[in-house]
Amino acid sequence: MTPKTGPLKPRQTEPVKLSVIIPTFNAADTLPSTLKSLSSASKRGIALEIVIVDAHSQDDTERIAERAGAKFIKSDKGRGIQLATGVKSATGDWFLFLHADTILTSGWDASFVVFTTLESNLNRAAVFTFALSACDSKARFIEKVVRLRNNWLGLPYGDQGLIIHRRFYSRLGGYKSWTIMEDIDLVRRIVMSRIALLDVKATTSATRYQQDGYMFRVIRNLTCLTLYFLRVPPNWISKIYG
């Protein structure tokens, strides 16, 4: 994975049309902060569309989405299924796939504009730098592990977000309707040399890490990744993931 965004050959463009596609399931606790972090887009001249694809939540997710002016679509559960469904309703030239418990930090919009202005990036993708919301040494350790995985394997996960042009996404075949590992499957098709790592943090809620245990989640994620490379069907892997 390269931290650069390609040769500096800007295109003459109109305001960038961006569709942010967010899969949700009972996300009322985290979704408001995620949506708030996107609110700076208009100041950068970004024409923002938010598409929330919900797996029949039982909390206030729908009300929060509607209050934010987002498109709200119901879908079967599974991130790959939900993301693929969201694309069908998205109208933007660029897509940003984002988890409902991830907050983009200040400067994401400027980095997005710079990335999308470069013509060479029409055939590339970008992800943000992974961070956890907790302020402890275990969280910093996880961030280092993710950084090593990005640098050595070129395998960013979905919680880093993914910026990609509509046409490039379509040529790649898009997300498969999988319940798990859909993010790894897509970035492998993009290939390492075509993924830019932006120097802006995507901060993911540490709640699940704290509840499950940091090392448990690291071991579980590594186990799922290993099974994926061993060609174990995603529906079997999802049973291990829980």
Beta pairing, strands 162-165 & 195-204: unpaired
Separation of alpha carbons 221 and 174, rounded Å? 23
Question: Per the domain annotation, does 201 fall within a domain?
Answer: yes
Number of domains the chain is built from:
1
Question: Per the domain annotation, does 215 fall within a domain?
Answer: no
- 88 C-beta neighbours (distance < 10 Å), count: 10
Alpha helices in 154-233 (DSSP H): 166-172, 182-190, 207-212, 214-229
pTM: 0.91
Question: Per the domain annotation, does 154 fall within a domain?
Answer: yes
Vertex 28, ends 23 and 34: CA angle to 5°?
A: 60
Mapping DSSP to helix (H, G, I), strand (E, B) and coil, where does residue 1 land?
Answer: coil
Question: Per the domain annotation, does 213 fall within a domain?
Answer: no
- Sole residue written with tokens 């046409």: 167
pLDDT tens-digit readout, 115-133: 999 999 999 999 999 999 9
Question: Per the domain annotation, does 84 fall within a domain?
Answer: yes
Q: Which pLDDT score, from 0 to 100, does residue 192 have?
A: 77
Mapping DSSP to helix (H, G, I), strand (E, B) and coil, where does residue 117 land?
Answer: helix
Kindly give, in sequence order, each residue whose CB lies less than 8 Å from that of residue 153, ignoring residues fewer than 6 positions away. Answer: none
Question: Per the domain annotation, does 233 fall within a domain?
Answer: no
Beta pairing, strands 94-97 & 162-165: antiparallel
Domain of 34, in residue numbers = 17-206
Question: Per the domain annotation, does 226 fall within a domain?
Answer: no
Question: Per the domain annotation, does 225 fall within a domain?
Answer: no
Q: Which pLDDT score, from 0 to 100, does residue 7 have?
A: 47
Kindly give, in sequence order, each residue whose CB lies less than 8 Å from that of residue 96, ignoring residues fewer than 6 positions away. Answer: 18, 19, 20, 21, 112, 161, 162, 163
Low-confidence ranges of the chain (pLDDT < 50): 3-8, 12
CATH number at residue 31: 3.90.550.10
Q: Which pLDDT score, from 0 to 100, does residue 1 have?
A: 63
pLDDT tens-digit readout, 189-214: 998 779 999 999 999 999 999 999 99
